[in-house]
Amino acid sequence: MDSEALRKFSALHPRPAGLTLHYGTAGFRSAAQQLDHVVFRMGLLAALRSKAVAATIGVMVTASHNPEEDNGVKLIDPLGEMLHPSWEEYATQLANAEEQELQKVITEICQKAAVNLHKDASVFIGRDTRPSSKKLSQSVIDGVQVLGGQYHDYGLVTTPQLHYMVCCQNTQGQYGKATLEGYYEKLSKAFMELIKQSHCSGEFQRHMKIDCANGVGALKLLEMKPYFPQEVLIHIYNDGTKEKLNHLCGADFVKVHQKPPGGLDMKPNERCCSFDGDADRIVYYYKDTAGHFHLIDGDKIATLISIFLKELLAKVKQNFKMAVVQTAYANGNSTRYLQETLKVPVHCVKTGVKHLHHKAQEFDVGVYFEANGHGTVLFSKATEAKIRQLVKEEKDDEKREAAKMLENTIDLINQTVGDAVSDMLVIEAILALKDLSVQQWDALYTDLPNRLLKVQVADRRVIDTTDAERRALTPPGLQEKIDALVKKYKLSRAFVRPSGTEDVVRIYAEADTQENADALAHEVSLAVFHLAGGKGAPPQP
């Protein structure tokens, strides 16, 4: 390690005094002006991680659905998955180290993780459209180069595209070509092949209205347009030319506020969707003829995909094990529909994409979505190989046709991470193949009314949970109180969990009516306030 270069570059990216940040599920996120030293040091860490695993590592500069003034950075592991938990610790240590301690911390990481500094390092870098992202990605490059690493700067990409590229690179092209062209070609070809298998008569036309949150998704959809035939009509709104990123638009805005984004004119019963700022989440919605807004969130997306896959898996008769993975935030009626009507096993895990992804890997086919619209489908290696074999060798027409559909679906889905572009194409293909309108999709089940609240507390760590965050272990008496409150309402449940990023406790409640869901959420928030050290005035109804 060149101590002089490290000292020199570290001085160019100084750490503000007293600032402490933690690497969470979304990496680091903060106000952009506080992040220069962090992204420089994540360039260092990416080079170390690359040397440790002898593979290419990704670094994405984005703060996803946060306001434009924020930014963030996250690392991508060799198969396009999230950074290994043990390295999240190293990321936090490195980001918070005093300048004069930096070399010592790097040496400690090298010892703990058996990193040979003489090995080569390769890092892929991408960024979103925030005004601060270009300068911050240059700081990542500085970090990579200080440790003698090679880098490829992809510039503006969606987060899922960088995950895809890293996976392609490390599978020696088995997953696809590690270029944007490769990504567009693979997805558009699989989409068109799938659509071709639809038996709908007459002229085929597919209109898609997409709110791109004024983010990078708009640029990438524009680049992808020429890869589709003219029957596929992509209409892009909130393309970033006029308004600020994520301002009054995007998947997070639509999901939280339960209303359409600004900048998009909706006709009655017209299918629309929204991406978030870095295009790794998607939600659908429409307005009915009476003008009422209907949201179709991640739970209903998972349900649609599960119906489609279950039918195809039944046709190929291979006894594949399929399951859906959800978090405690999944609407109770979605869980009921999947288990009771579809007869698909459902597993509940802690909040956070890494927990869902990890659980989904246990099945031949694992479908996972968070209610916020982040999700994908994972196929085990053996399942994928068997399906591709059936396409080549199966004599029975119906079985072969079903296997071909499954193969195209595998190629259309970005298995590395939730991907708004890929998920949208999967959904559009399924709706076309099953000849379903957005209203018919929405009518699969009716969401139970629910309410999300948060309560400020002195220290979020007083709340400890179990059973995939559905029950509180501490403080004493809180869970008993919640159980008693839940008994007062029909079809009700409620849970509390500490926020991962701030001193607040998040509360979720659902019940048979909106009035009851609101009342239950309020009563639970009062219990949290009194038993878990609430700050300020007690919550008001």
Q: What is the pLDDT along the chain (541 residues), one digit of tens a residue?
A: 889 999 999 999 999 988 999 998 889 999 999 999 999 999 999 999 999 999 999 999 999 999 999 999 999 999 999 999 999 999 999 999 999 999 999 999 999 999 999 999 999 999 999 999 999 999 999 999 999 999 999 999 999 999 999 999 999 999 999 999 999 999 999 999 998 887 654 456 788 899 999 999 999 999 999 998 888 899 999 999 999 999 999 999 999 888 999 999 899 999 999 999 999 999 999 999 999 999 999 999 999 999 999 999 999 999 999 999 999 999 999 999 999 999 999 999 999 888 999 999 999 999 999 999 999 999 999 999 999 999 999 999 999 999 999 999 999 999 999 999 999 999 999 999 999 999 999 999 999 999 999 999 999 999 999 999 999 999 999 999 999 999 999 999 999 999 876 789 999 999 999 999 999 999 999 999 999 999 999 999 8
Is 243 among the domain residues?
A: yes
- How far is residue 301 from each of residues 129, 295, 331, measured CA to CA in Å? 27, 11, 12
Query: How much is the pTM?
Result: 0.94
Is 423 among the domain residues?
A: no
Question: What tokens does 423 get?
Answer: 């998920």
- Residue 170's CB is within 10 A of a number of other CB atoms, namely 23
What is residue 199's predicted lDDT score, i.e. its pLDDT?
A: 64
Q: Are residues 8 and 134 in the same domain?
A: yes
Q: Are residues 238 and 108 in the same domain?
A: no
Do residues 53 and 83 touch, judged by C-beta distance below 8 A? Answer: no
CATH (domain of 518): 3.30.310.50
For 256-299, the DSSP string reads HHTSPPTT----TT--EEEE-TTS--EEEEEE-TT--EEEE-HH
The answer to the question of whether 120 is labelled as a binding residue is no
CA dist 142 and 9 (Å) reads 7
Q: Are residues 45 and 144 in the same domain?
A: yes
The answer to the question of whether 370 is labelled as a binding residue is yes
The answer to the question of whether 276 is labelled as a binding residue is yes
Q: Are residues 129 and 11 in the same domain?
A: yes
Is 281 among the domain residues?
A: yes
CA dist 453 and 299 (Å) reads 20
Is 539 among the domain residues?
A: no
Q: Are residues 146 and 71 in the same domain?
A: yes
Is 375 among the domain residues?
A: yes
Q: Are residues 134 and 35 in the same domain?
A: yes
Q: Are residues 287 and 305 in the same domain?
A: no
CA atoms within 13 A on the CB side of 433: 26
Catalytic, 64? Answer yes
Q: 164 — phi, psi (to 5°)?
A: -60, -45
The answer to the question of whether 179 is labelled as a binding residue is no
The answer to the question of whether 506 is labelled as a binding residue is yes
Q: At what angle do helices 397-412 and 180-196 cross, to 10 degrees?
A: 150
**Which residue has 């996250």 as its token pair?**
74
The answer to the question of whether 260 is labelled as a binding residue is no
Domain that holds residue 244: 182-296
For 39-85, the DSSP string reads HHHHHHHHHHHHHHHTSEEEEEE--TTS-TTEEEEEEE-TTS-BPPH
State which amino acid sits at residue 254.
Answer: V
CA dist 433 and 344 (Å) reads 21
What is residue 205's predicted lDDT score, i.e. its pLDDT?
A: 74
Is 335 among the domain residues?
A: yes
Q: Which residues lie across from 253 on neighbouring strands? A: none
CA dist 474 and 258 (Å) reads 32
* Secondary structure of residue 378 in the 3-state scheme: strand
Q: What is the pLDDT of residues 477-529, one digit of tens each?
A: 999 999 999 999 999 999 999 987 678 999 999 999 999 999 999 999 999 99
CATH (domain of 246): 3.40.120
The answer to the question of whether 500 is labelled as a binding residue is yes
Q: Are residues 291 and 329 in the same domain?
A: no
Largest CA distance in the chain: 71
Q: Are residues 308 and 274 in the same domain?
A: no
What is residue 147's predicted lDDT score, i.e. its pLDDT?
A: 97
Domain boundary among 296, 316, 331: 296
CA 144 to chain centre: 26
- Structurally, the chain folds into a number of domains equal to 4
Is 169 among the domain residues?
A: no
What is residue 200's predicted lDDT score, i.e. its pLDDT?
A: 58
Task: Kindly name the residue from 10, 50, 64, 139 that is annotated as catalytic.
Answer: 64
Q: Are residues 265 and 289 in the same domain?
A: yes
What is residue 201's predicted lDDT score, i.e. its pLDDT?
A: 47
Is 176 among the domain residues?
A: no
CATH (domain of 84): 3.40.120.10
Q: In the chain, what is the straight-line distance between the N-terminal and C-terminal CA atoms, in Å?
A: 59
The answer to the question of whether 492 is labelled as a binding residue is no
Q: Are residues 413 and 516 in the same domain?
A: no
Domain boundary among 271, 296, 321: 296
Q: Are residues 59 and 119 in the same domain?
A: yes
CA dist 159 and 59 (Å) reads 10
